[in-house]
A and B are shown apart, each in its own frame.
Chain A
């Protein structure tokens, strides 16, 4: 079966432009997470979706960041008016239940803001 799929794998954009990152979770997984990984650093929690519940947006660093998820399928992370400090790998993960025991990560989107 397919794992978590993220697209694009690499994105280069100019400062001030908007970008949209996509995540296709493993089929049947109800929970979906977005994390940010800056070069040489740990994973920074951004947002968490669980089924039809209101998402946990407590990790979003500013109002330039937003995310949506359609039911229990695809999610998109949007960054408006990108800044150079937004450059990072954006990782998506899904898990089969509301429990967080095992997260399955995608390979990430490498975002470079010039």
Chain B
């Protein structure tokens, strides 16, 4: 059973545009929602994370929006740059190992 659903599978954005990736979860026990960024040939690296007691968290150009009632959260990348081209994974956890979404391959065109 897929507990974290991620969309879209792939995304192409022009430089300077906004990239938006969405995730939905089913398990109401989840209490931690990170986003990981993965470049080819590398392991994923933590980008930004949020807990359900806040609706938004911003770090630089990256923002997580969280909707607890809808059980959805999203990553917004403002002023997207070619260096942001990577695969992005949302994840969720309830005090055990993270459950990851299926990933979004982002390509930012110059």
Provide the main secondary structure of the chain A interface: loop
Q: Among B55-63, B68-76, B90-98, which stretch is in contact with chain A?
A: B90-98
Question: Is the CB–CB distance between B46 and A100 below 8 Å?
Answer: no
Q: Which of B6, B42, B93, B101 contacts A100 (CB 8 A)?
A: B93
Question: Is the CB–CB distance between B44 and A100 below 8 Å?
Answer: no
Question: Is the CB–CB distance between A43 and B49 below 8 Å?
Answer: no
Question: Is the CB–CB distance between A100 and B95 below 8 Å?
Answer: yes
Question: Is the CB–CB distance between A59 and B43 below 8 Å?
Answer: no
Which chain A positions have C-beta within 8 A of B44? 43, 91, 103, 105
Question: Is the CB–CB distance between B97 and A105 below 8 Å?
Answer: no
Q: Known contacts A41-B102, A105-B45, A107-B43; is A100 also within 8 Å of B96 by CB?
A: yes
Complex Cα distance, B45 from A90, in Å, reads: 15
Q: Which of chain A's residues has its CB closest to B2's CB?
A: A42
Q: Known contacts A33-B97, A56-B96; is A101 also within 8 Å of B43 by CB?
A: no
Which chain A positions have C-beta within 8 A of B96? 48, 56, 100
Which chain A positions have C-beta within 8 A of B41? 107
Question: Is the CB–CB distance between B6 and A42 below 8 Å?
Answer: yes
Complex Cα distance, B34 from A56, in Å, reads: 21
Q: How far, in Å, is A3 (CB) from chain B's closest CB?
A: 9
Complex Cα distance, B98 from A33, in Å, reads: 10
CB-defined A-B contacts under 8 Å, sample of 9 = A42-B100, A45-B100, A48-B96, A91-B43, A91-B44, A93-B43, A100-B97, A102-B34, A103-B98
User: Which A positions have Cβ atoms within 8 angstroms of B?
Assistant: 4, 33, 35, 40-45, 48, 56, 59, 91, 93, 100-103, 105-108
User: Which B positions have Cβ atoms within 8 angstroms of A?
Assistant: 6, 32, 34, 41-46, 49, 89, 91, 93, 95-103
